[in-house]
Amino acid sequence: MTNVTIIGATGSLGRVVTRALLKKTDAHLTLFSRTALSLVANLRVTRMSASTDNASALEDAVRDADVVFVALSGDLPFMAGQVVAAMNRVGARRIVFVSAYGIYGEVADERDGRQSRDVRGSESPGIPDILLPYLRAADIIESSGLDYTILRPGWFKDSADGEPGHYQLIPKGRLVHGHDVARESIADVVCRVVENPYELSGENVAIIDVQE
């Protein structure tokens, strides 16, 4: 049986990913969050109530994980570093980390379709300061030595029918057109990785629903 750890399990995305994995895979899930005990119990679920600054608890959460999925908010560079360190200490290898689109200034200007670079007051040209923690966290994951996939989603929305949308994955270095993505679409990618760990290995991709 595949073991998957979800760090940030009580967040809106973590909850959708949990539901999708329980429905579409036979994986055992370890749900890690400060409020994990508020989640509904399930025979295929282990709930761990702790935060990422608890190194010992984090190690326990990822110790036997075949895939670690991370969707957090807050001090992302610190949290990313904590997760990477815990995984390296216990020998866990596969991580799927959620960052944000726009961290490379790759979002196309909707007026002319070209790359938007006019962001004033930012430490990095073309990147709003609010996105810098997401950029730094992505850098930590890419340099971690782990088998990573970085997902850079657009603005979250909920699918009307609870199913994934028609989404596209855009490699790092390419312009991103569009801005919305259903949480269910992100969950579908996670399920694909859990079913085939080689899927998107070593890749950093934006994920956007195709506008129909």
pLDDT of residue 15: 97
pTM for the model stands at: 0.92
* Mean pLDDT (the chain, rounded): 92
Q: Is the pLDDT of residue 112 over 70?
A: no
pLDDT of residue 108: 80
Q: Rg of the Cα trace of the chain?
A: 17
pLDDT of residue 102: 94
SS3 letters for the chain? CCEEEEECCCCHHHHHHHHHHHHHCCCEEEEEECCHHHCCCCCCEEEEECCCCCHHHHHHHHCCCCEEEECCCCCHHHHHHHHHHHHHHHCCCEEEEECCCCCCCCEECCCCCCECCCCCCCCECCECHHHHHHHHHHHHHHCCCCEEEEEEECEEECCCCCCCCCEEEEECCCCECCCEEEHHHHHHHHHHHHHCCCCCCCEEEEEEECCC
- In sequence order, the 6+-apart residues with CB closer than 8 A to the CB of 112 are none
pLDDT of residue 125: 53
Report the pLDDT averaged over residues 27-43: 95
Domain count, the chain: 1
Q: Is the pLDDT of residue 117 over 50?
A: no
- The more confidently predicted of residues 164 and 95 is 95
Full residue range of the structural domain in which residue 171 is found: 3-209
Write out pLDDT tens, residues 48-76: 999 999 999 999 999 999 999 999 999 99
Where residue 127 sits, what CATH number does that domain have? 3.40.50.720
Write out pLDDT tens, residues 140-172: 999 999 999 999 999 999 888 878 879 999 999
